[in-house]
Amino acid sequence: MYTDRLLIIFILGTYLLSPAIIQWWSDGGQSWFRPFMVWLALIGLSYWIARSRDFDGL
């Protein structure tokens, strides 16, 4: 049930923040690679979580 909550919070949070994210993205101008940098940062975060946590269910 904790997983459900986390997922709901994540999806709701992403949805609520998406207009601001898209606005920030659209204002990129010459920095067309902005979204890719954020994407890379997310991958780094995911890598860190995967390394530091033990997922017992798998």
Partner 1 sequence: MGFSFYQLFAVALGYLLLLFFVAWITDRGLLPARLVRHPAIYVLSLGVYCSAWAIYGAVGYAHLYGYNYMAYFLGISGAFLLAPILLAPILRLTTTYQLSSLADLFAFRFRSRSAGALTTIIMIACMLPLLSLQIKAVAESIEILSGGNEPINVAGWFCMLITLFAILFGARHATAREKHEGLVVAIAVESLIKVVAFAAVALIGLFGVFDGPDGLNTWLNDHPEMLARLYFPLQDGSWHSLVMAFFVSAVVMPHMFHMAFTENLNPRALITASWGVPLLFLVMAISVPLVLWASLKVQVTTPADYFSLGLTQHIGGHASLLAYIAGLAGASGMLIVATLALSSMALNHLVLPLRPVQHTEDLYRWLLWARRILIASMLLLAYLFYVWSGHRHSLTELGVLSFVATLQFVPGLIGTLFWPGANRKGLFTGLMTGFIVWLFVLVLPMLMPSWQIPLAQELLGVRFIEPAEQWQTIAMFSVAANGFLFAIVSMITSTTPAERNAAEACAVDSLRRPYRWELEANSVEDFIGSLANPLGASTAEREVELALRDLNVSRNETRPYALRRLRDQLETNLSGLLGPSVSHQLVDDYLPYKPHDESETSEDIQFIESRLELYRNRLSGLAAELDSLRRFHRQTLLELPMGVISLGSDGEIIGWNLAMEQLTHISGRRMIGSRLSNLPQPWRQLLMEFALGDVVRMPQQTLEINHQTQWLSLHKSRVHGPTPGERDGGQVIVVEDVTDVRSLESRLAHNERLASIGRLAAGVAHEIGNPVTAIACLTQNLDLSDHDDDVRESSQQILEQTRRISRIVESLVTFSHSGGLPAQSHLPVRMHDVIEEAKALIRLDPDRRHLPIVNECPDTLTANGDPQRLLQVFVNLLSNAADANPDRQPVTIRGSLQEQEVTLEVEDHGQGIPVELRETLFEPFVTSKAPGRGTGLGLALVYSIIEDHGGSIRVESPVADGQGTRFTITLPAYVEAVAEQS
Distance, in Å, from the CA atom of 25 to the CA atom of 34, rounded to the nearest integer, reads 7
Q: Which one of 9, 10, 13, 17 is in contact with partner 1 (CB under 8 A)?
A: 10
Distance, in Å, from the CA atom of 12 to the CA atom of 18, rounded to the nearest integer, reads 10
Q: Which one of 16, 20, 52, 55 is in contact with partner 1 (CB under 8 A)?
A: 55
Position 49 contacts partner 1 (CB under 8 A) = yes
CB 35, CB 25: distance < 8 Å: yes
Q: What stretches of 1-58 show up as alpha helix (H) in DSSP? A: 2-26, 34-52
**What does the binding site for partner 1 look like in residue numbers (CB under 8 A)?**
1-4, 6-7, 10, 14-15, 18, 22, 25-26, 28-30, 32-33, 35-36, 39-40, 42-44, 46-47, 49-50, 55-58
